[in-house]
């Protein structure tokens, strides 16, 4: 079985459906994510750059991930930048710790546990 490609029509349709789910009232932040700005690949983990993310990176070098955005995903697989994820997590009462100042409206894993 081959890995789905962004060019595969069925995979593209799934991505489009997921994008329509973004910011729904029932969206919840489920895990940390780093998205490669060159390839679009997303690494997932409980925290940014934890062991799971390193394992998922496989043989790719750190240099290939130097241009990436740190964020989070929801239960539909949508990527949220840290400031977007903060809005979702705040709406769902997921934030249990304030990191930094109350004016820092970017989500960090530590906000969630």
On average, the pLDDT of the chain sits at 85
DSSP 46: S
pLDDT in tens, 30-78: 999 999 998 888 999 999 999 988 888 887 777 788 889 999 999 988 9
Model confidence at 15, pLDDT cuts 50, 70, 90, reads low
The stretch 9-17 carries a mean pLDDT of 71
Delimit the domains of the chain by residue range. 9-112
Model confidence at 23, pLDDT cuts 50, 70, 90, reads confident
List Cα–Cα distances, 70 to 9, 31, 94, in angstroms: 27, 11, 19
């Amino acid at each position: 079985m081959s890995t789905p490609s962004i060019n595969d029509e069925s995979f593209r349709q799934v991505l489009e459906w997921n994008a329509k789910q973004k910011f729904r009232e029932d969206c919840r932040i489920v895990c940390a994510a780093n998205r490669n700005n060159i390839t679009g690949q997303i690494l997932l983990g409980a925290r940014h750059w934890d062991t799971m993310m390193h394992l998922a990176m496989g043989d790719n070098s750190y240099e290939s991930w130097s241009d990436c955005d740190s964020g989070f995903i929801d239960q539909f697989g949508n990527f949220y930048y840290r400031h977007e994820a903060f809005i979702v997590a705040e709406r769902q009462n997921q934030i249990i710790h304030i990191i930094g100042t109350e004016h820092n409206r970017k989500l960090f894993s530590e906000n969630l546990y």
